[in-house]
Amino acid sequence: MKYENEINKRRTFAIISHPDAGKTTLTEKFLLFVGAIQTAGAVKSNKIKKFATSDFMEIERQRGISVATSVMSFEYKGILINLLDTPGHKDFAEDTYRTLTAVDSVILVIDSVNGVEEQTRRLMEVCRMRLTPVIVFINKMDRDGKNRFDLLEEIEKELKIELHPMTWPINSGKDFKGVYDLHNKSLVLFTANTKATDEDTVKIDDINNPLLDDKLGEKDAALLREDVELVDGVHGRLQVDDYLSGKVAPVFFGSAINNFGVREMLDTFIQIAPIPQCRETSVREICPDEEKLSGFIFKIHANLDPKHRDRIAFLRVCSGKFERNKYFHHVRLDKDVRFSNPYTFLARDKDVIEEAYPGDVVGLFDTGNFKIGDTLTEGEDFYFTGIPSFSPEIFKEVLNKDPMKTKQLEKGLLQLTDEGVAQLFTQFGGNKKIIGCVGELQFEVIQYRLLHEYSASVQFNTLPFYKACWITSNDPKKLDEFIRFKHANIAEDKDGHLVYLAQSEWYLNTERNNNPDIEFHFTSEIHK
């Protein structure tokens, strides 16, 4: 196997969570921990405010939320880690779903105070569909939260996954004293507002060692012994294969803001997390150890650097070796392309690279050649499956407030919808531009970015549509007839594919029943 060493060195994963569970804080602590950054919020600091490293869009800083997936690469103990930090906000769920197609495993952050929340459920559904291995980090143990046993039971029940505790908390809230590492048989003591160091770790091979009473006090030591006996009795040792097949999720407790419990998780992660995996394509399964390069675009980001109108397409390498200045085959356009400045990322900072291997995420400077889901190969024609656009849930007409900026608006709408921020539809036979999104916040982001990045001022008018369905038929006559009768509800997506905009579920079901020769599709993947 030509690239065996490189493949075995790599781990590519995403951090997912409900908003405010502490996901971006955890990402930052990883980077601090491995020495990739020196201070939290290191991207932009001033005396008043520090911003998270992975939140680089102006609107993210203003709102204090992540709205775009950030990509970061760093090395830890000889392992090259590619970390994708995803938006937690539900309005940007589609970006997160697509990111999950580009990773081999996931760390799920759960807030110990709030437990399982709606967005956590949705994200886990996507992980279950793909059988993605999951590690759970229960955050904010230094706050008064739910009982540890109740919380585990709730996670198992709500997320339909079996849990396996790897560390165990000693109290919570203001009484939080640390965690006991069930795997390494050691005690890690917690002090608020300080980073855990080696001095805080006490090796305790025997849980009955009196040293435990000295460190925790008799009452807490007795409770911990009781808990550990119970947990060990139920779970025993972790079977790594159960984790890799997505059946069991190892669980760690900690406090990301205090950088506590993070190292134990990171050390376990590099030992058990999967190396780059095989992936399905339209033709056959592609495995990382194949000699020829293949990869797919799972994200596009325009204006990463507002001073330069750059547009970066993020390529997940799936097999072979990516090389700078080498020609690769762009399957959809059926043309050969090469890249003189491919990048790897530490959030906003970019480094030009000479080569990349399976599992790596490479930033490609894009002049408008790429769409989400595009495939690069060394000549073979196929595309990676499972990277669809979902039907939007909110539709608004775009009204141009400044006719002098029509060109800028057109360009901005095309570029932003290429990124997958939203979907763009044009009224069939007309010029009305309709944007479809999953949530209201996306419209705010689009309006902001159109104004600040393209100098185009717009307002949105809400339209009474419930769902967009891509329509196809084996009978062109029937399709033409349907379009003629339903003219007001027909639009084209930006690739020219026909879409039916249904006013309600009742209308949609009626049309499906009345038109058996027409197929209504809820994702755009059929057109690949």
pLDDT at residue 517 greater than cutoff 80? yes
pLDDT in tens, 267-303: 899 999 999 999 989 899 999 999 999 999 988 876 5
Mean pLDDT of the chain: 82
Work out the number of other CB atoms within 10 angstroms of the CB of residue 444. 16
- In terms of Cβ atoms closer than 10 Å to its own Cβ (0-12, 13-18, 19+), residue 401 is exposed
Would the CATH topology of 279-377 be identical to that of 394-527?
no
pLDDT at residue 377 greater than cutoff 70? yes
- Average pLDDT estimate for 29-57: 50
pLDDT in tens, 366-375: 877 888 889 9
pLDDT at residue 24 greater than cutoff 80? no
What would you measure as the largest C-alpha separation in the chain, in angstroms? 84
Q: Could you tell me the pLDDT band of residue 70, with boundaries at 50, 70 and 90? A: low
Helix crossing, 406-418 with 440-454: angle to 10°? 130
pLDDT at 9: 92
Please spell the DSSP secondary structure of 388-403, one letter per residue: PPBPPSEEEEEEES-G
pLDDT in tens, 448-460: 888 888 899 999 9
- In terms of Cβ atoms closer than 10 Å to its own Cβ (0-12, 13-18, 19+), residue 103 is buried
Angstrom distance (rounded) from CA 93 to CA 101: 13
Higher pLDDT, 119 or 506: 506
- What are the distances in angstroms from CA 522 to CA 116, 197, 374, 462, 519? 28, 51, 20, 21, 10
pLDDT at 434: 92
- Average pLDDT estimate for 291-319: 79
pLDDT in tens, 83-108: 887 764 454 556 677 788 889 999 99
Q: Which CATH class is domain 279-377?
A: alpha beta
List b or e across 223-237, with b for residues whose CB sees 16 or more CB atoms inside 10 angstroms.
Answer: ebeebbeebeeebee
Angstrom distance (rounded) from CA 465 to CA 129: 28
Angstrom distance (rounded) from CA 97 to CA 439: 15
pLDDT at 245: 92
pLDDT at 296: 94
pLDDT at 287: 93
- In terms of Cβ atoms closer than 10 Å to its own Cβ (0-12, 13-18, 19+), residue 373 is buried
User: Which of 2-16, 35-49, 194-208, 260-274 comes out lowest in average pLDDT?
Assistant: 35-49
Higher pLDDT, 54 or 241: 241
Higher pLDDT, 448 or 1: 448
- Average pLDDT estimate for 51-67: 44
Structural contact between residues 54 and 27, judged by C-beta atoms closer than 8 angstroms: yes
pLDDT at 240: 92
pLDDT in tens, 458-506: 999 999 998 888 999 999 999 999 999 898 899 998 888 899 999 999 9
pLDDT at 199: 56
**Alpha carbon of residue 434 to chain centroid:** 26
pLDDT at 145: 82
Angstrom distance (rounded) from CA 471 to CA 314: 30
Residue 54 main-chain phi, psi, to 5 deg: -90, -5
pLDDT at residue 48 greater than cutoff 70? no
pLDDT in tens, 156-206: 999 989 999 999 998 888 888 888 888 888 888 887 665 555 556 777 777
Cβ-proximal residues to 456 (8 Å cutoff; 6+ apart), any chain: 400, 402, 405, 408, 409, 412, 450
pLDDT at residue 346 greater than cutoff 70? no
- Average pLDDT estimate for 349-363: 83
Work out the number of other CB atoms within 10 angstroms of the CB of residue 434. 22
Q: What is the 3-state secondary structure (H, E, C) of 417-472?
A: HHCCCCEEEEECCCCCEEEEECCHHHHHHHHHHHHHHHCCCEEEEECCCCEEEEEE
> What would the CATH number be for the domain defined by 394-527?
3.30.70.3280
pLDDT at 47: 30
Domain ranges of the chain: 4-174+239-272, 279-377, 394-527
Fold of 4-174+239-272: Rossmann fold (3.40.50)
pLDDT at 67: 36
Q: Could you tell me the pLDDT band of residue 523, with boundaries at 50, 70 and 90? A: confident
Angstrom distance (rounded) from CA 276 to CA 7: 7
Q: What is the 3-state secondary structure (H, E, C) of 275-309?
A: CCCCEEECCCEECCCCCCCEEEEEEEEECCCCCCC
- The pTM for the full model equals 0.77
Helices (H), 160-292: 211-216, 218-235, 240-244, 262-272
pLDDT in tens, 394-429: 899 999 999 899 899 988 888 888 777 788 999 887
